[in-house]
Amino acid sequence: MNSIPSVDLNDFISENPERKQHFVKSIGKAYEDIGFVALKGHFLDDTLVNNLYSEVKNFFDLPLEVKQKYEIPEIAGQRGYVSFGKESAKGKKEGDLKEFWHFGQYIDENEKEKYGYPDNVIVDELPEFNKIGKQTYQMLEKTAKYVLRALALHLGLEETYFDDYIKNGNSILRPIHYPPIKEEPKEAVRAAAHGDINLITLLMGAQGRGLQVQNHKGEWLDAIAQPDELMVNVGDMLSRHTNNKLKSTIHRVVNPPKELWGTSRYSIPFFMHPVSDMKLDVLEDCIDENNPKQFEDITAGEFLTERLIELGLIKK
């Protein structure tokens, strides 16, 4: 596998059984081989995407002291602003060369206590920022639901197997700003090699060079989406649940060539998480004599906490 396959969600949501089955087979094979696809036919329209990038740039252009008003250490960076260099990849001591924001789940008032998620943080200076963020969050969540339905069919499960687990799940929309590089980074890169924690990740902003994916031979491949595509990859939770049948692939964001150091990069991943009490125990159908059970039983909430400690966002 030396390139990222492209699939079209319109095939899956069409009324045509052959097109639907073609999508299931294509995405299933891609996720078994390399863990990434480029996805057309998602639910974001151009106007929403343009508005989001505009608002995100407006936020990151605010003075640092204004942005820091929205950094809330006691919630481990799960909502609001996380300043430059705070997050590092598992096993890396150097902080990544990025700052970012977190939009989280939108829960009905009468259910907030049940889930215990922190409230989303409102940016007073930008009246459209939170509105556009919420619209984007909901369209990406809808897209992710259909991708997971296709994967459920590929795994021999009921099509709606994941629906109840992702409803009100602890998903995160993360606009990231990689600022211009001002001096030779010692060991740091924009995002060090890592696997994602969650079920699946939908990434906006992979249209230029920078994102790289590691194939099974250990080679790094450029992952470049077309303007109408999202990059969608398997996270560690789904890999565990399927006994690594679906691959959570190591990826990174490398620093640009020196002549482009003066430019910013923006990317916006949506991390699709289930509710915290989802059991990530290995599915029985993914275990056989050639593929013995590789992972201990754990819930999504326990696994997330483990990983946030490793990333330095929760202090022991």
Q: What is the pLDDT of residue 2?
A: 58
What is the pTM assigned to this prediction?
A: 0.91
> In whole angstroms, what is the distance from residue 107 CA to residue 105 CA?
6
How many other β-carbons are positioned within 10 Å of the β-carbon of residue 227?
Answer: 7
80-107 burial code (b ≥16 CB/10 A, e <16): bbbbbebbbbeebeebbbbbbbbbbbeb
Nearest to 170 by CA among 310, 23, 302: 302
> What is the phi-psi region of residue 244: left when phi exceeds 0, alpha when psi lies from -120 to 50, beta otherwise?
left
Residue extents of the structural domains in the chain: 6-310
Q: What is the pLDDT of residue 90?
A: 55
Predicted local distance difference test score (pLDDT) of residue 301:
93
What pLDDT is attached to residue 206?
A: 66
Q: How many residues make up the chain in this entry?
A: 316
Ramachandran sector of residue 291 (left: φ over 0; alpha: ψ -120 to 50; beta: rest): beta
pLDDT computed for residue 234 by the predictor: 96
User: What's the distance, CA 19 to chain centroid?
Assistant: 26
Q: How far apart, in whole angstroms, are the C-alpha atoms of residue 37 and residue 22?
A: 14
Class of domain 6-310: mainly beta
Q: What is the pLDDT along the chain (316 residues), one digit of tens a residue?
A: 457 899 999 999 998 999 999 999 999 999 999 999 999 999 999 999 999 999 999 999 999 999 999 999 888 788 999 988 665 545 555 556 789 999 999 998 888 888 889 999 999 999 999 999 999 999 999 999 999 999 999 999 999 999 999 999 999 999 999 888 776 666 655 566 788 999 999 999 766 777 899 888 888 998 888 889 999 999 999 999 999 999 998 988 777 677 777 778 888 999 999 999 999 999 999 999 999 999 999 999 999 988 888 877 677 6
Give buried/exposed letters for 131-162 (b at 16+ CB in 10 A, else e): ebbeebbebbbebbbbbbbbbbbbbeeeeebb
Q: What share of the chain is helix, strand, coil (3-state, %, to 5)?
A: 35, 20, 50
User: What pLDDT, on the 0 to 100 scale, is given for residue 113?
Assistant: 85
What per-residue confidence (pLDDT) applies to 195? Answer: 85
DSSP string for residues in 109-171: GGGHHHH-PPPPPP-TT-TTHHHHHHHHHHHHHHHHHHHHHHHHHHTTS-TTTTHHHHTT---
Q: Are 97 and 190 in contact (CB under 8 A)?
A: yes
Copy the structure tokens of residue 43.
């639910």
pLDDT of residue 279: 97
Question: What pLDDT score does 268 carry?
Answer: 94
Q: Could you give the count of Cα atoms lying within 13 Å of 238 in the half-sphere of its Cβ?
A: 34
Please report, for residues 87, 134, 267, 284, the alpha-carbon distance to residue 309 in angstroms, rounded to integers and kept in the order given. 11, 27, 24, 29
